[in-house]
Amino acid sequence: MNPKISVIVIIYRVGKFLPKCLESIAAQTCDDIEVICVVGKGDRLCEEISREYERKDPRFRVIVSEPRGTANARNTGLKYSSGEYIAFVDGDDFIEPDMLETMLKGAVRYQADISAVGKFYAYENCTEDDNAINGYSFGKRADEAGTELLCTEDALKTVLYGTGFFLHIWDKLYRRELFDDIRFDEGKKVEDREISYRLLIKAKRMVYDRSPKYYFRDSSDSGSRVEDNLARSYEANEAICADIVKRFPSLSEACEVFLACEAMSVIQNSMLYGSFSAAHDRKYLDIVRAKAGTLFKNGFVSRPVKLKAVLCLFCPGMLKRLTLSRRKSFLKSHRQFCAGNDWQEIFKGQGIE
């Protein structure tokens, strides 16, 4: 008998997308699962949809709780879960029928604490494979099934150089014991990458199948698109990198490159929102300047990224025009989803920073 998997689905204001999400979980080829649907109180549509699955499928269970953010919802799901492994799915996303089976096979075969898969970016008019977009290829450690075995240091290198999975919580399967002393930090907009990092550090072994199995909906009004989220994420990145350097001094250069690239992302985000100025983004311009030497000499960094750093430091006006132009061109061929939520106000009402 296969180990049981608890799938925790956080659900709030996603009624437009929820049926496809829950149907994709119900259709999993891995039968021994329980599905914990954590629905924000007051969201009648989502509760009604979730209750329908609970009535017709005994694997589904609905928990209605006060809407206090994703961290609180995930902690609630952990409280009611009983599986030997834990997986997370956001209520506006969906998954391939064999995603859980693929992750479980990797975890069991290699006795791994974490098993990760690749993802798709889903738009209204198209779907794109993350591997193809970023030009990833199977690493030297990949076996005949395309599964990479990673020690902690190699897993962190993958994150820092952007050559595979990132510190997302939803594209991975976790051995339950990892959560014995770990819970999501409630009251924050950005909490998953810090917890994902702590789980990764705690894991003794990780497996990674690059095959895309998780569909991440790109929504124009997603909570992750709140303007100050990237700045808050950068603060978390600094703390994470400080800890990485203490544990793995050999990754200090990778951390420098990562922080430089993340600082450029904050700057470009300001450009997209129309708030960029030398004064507004001084902190991040200074970070790029301080780490530019490391970035330019590092062989893992692509020429386009190095060029972006040059423009950022010496021709920010040109970088702004290029950023806006490329975004406009991208949105012509990629229609984003829209749920109609004002997450800035929702977060404010929930007292989430």
* Angstrom distance (rounded) from CA 87 to CA 314: 45
At 178, the amino acid letter reads L
Residues paired with 127 in a beta bridge: 122
| 180 & 263 share domain | no
| 309 & 260 share domain | yes
Residue 116 lies in a domain: yes
Residue 342 lies in a domain: no
* Angstrom distance (rounded) from CA 118 to CA 324: 28
* Angstrom distance (rounded) from CA 103 to CA 89: 14
Digit-coded pLDDT (tens) for 79-96: 999 999 999 999 999 999
CATH number at residue 149: 3.90.550.10
Residues 337/217, Cβ–Cβ less than 8 Å: yes
Residue 187 region, left (φ>0) first, then alpha (ψ -120 to 50), else beta? left
| 173 & 249 share domain | no
The total number of structural domains in the chain stands at 2
Which has the minimum average pLDDT: 3-12, 47-56, 124-133, 143-152?
143-152
What does residue 272 show for φ and ψ, rounded to 5 degrees?
A: -70, -35
| 93 & 190 share domain | yes
Q: Look at residue 134 in the predicted model and tell me its pLDDT.
A: 60
| 123 & 165 share domain | yes
Residue 349 lies in a domain: no
| 203 & 93 share domain | yes
Residue 135 lies in a domain: yes
Residue 352 lies in a domain: no
Digit-coded pLDDT (tens) for 29-82: 998 999 999 999 999 999 999 999 999 999 999 999 999 989 999 999 999 999
Residue 350 lies in a domain: no
Residues 196/168, Cβ–Cβ less than 8 Å: yes
* Angstrom distance (rounded) from CA 223 to CA 343: 5
**Letter string b/e over residues 69-94, b meaning 16 or more CB atoms within 10 A of that residue's CB:** bbbbbbbbbbeebebebbbbbbbbbb
| 11 & 98 share domain | yes
| 195 & 229 share domain | no
CA nearest 31: which of 124, 104, 135, 107?
104
| 216 & 230 share domain | no
* Angstrom distance (rounded) from CA 22 to CA 89: 9
Digit-coded pLDDT (tens) for 212-221: 999 999 887 6
Place 187 in a pLDDT band, splitting at 50, 70 and 90. confident
Residue 353 lies in a domain: no
The per-residue DSSP string of 31-50 comes to: -SEEEEEEEETT-HHHHHHH
| 199 & 80 share domain | yes
Residue range of the domain that includes 62 = 5-220
Which residue has tokens 């437009």?
16
| 137 & 236 share domain | no
Q: Which long-range contacts (CB under 8 A, 24 or more apart) does 106-110 make?
A: 106/147, 106/207, 106/209, 107/173, 107/175, 107/207, 108/2, 108/3, 109/207, 110/147, 110/149, 110/205, 110/207
Digit-coded pLDDT (tens) for 287-330: 999 999 999 999 999 999 999 999 999 999 999 999 999 999 99
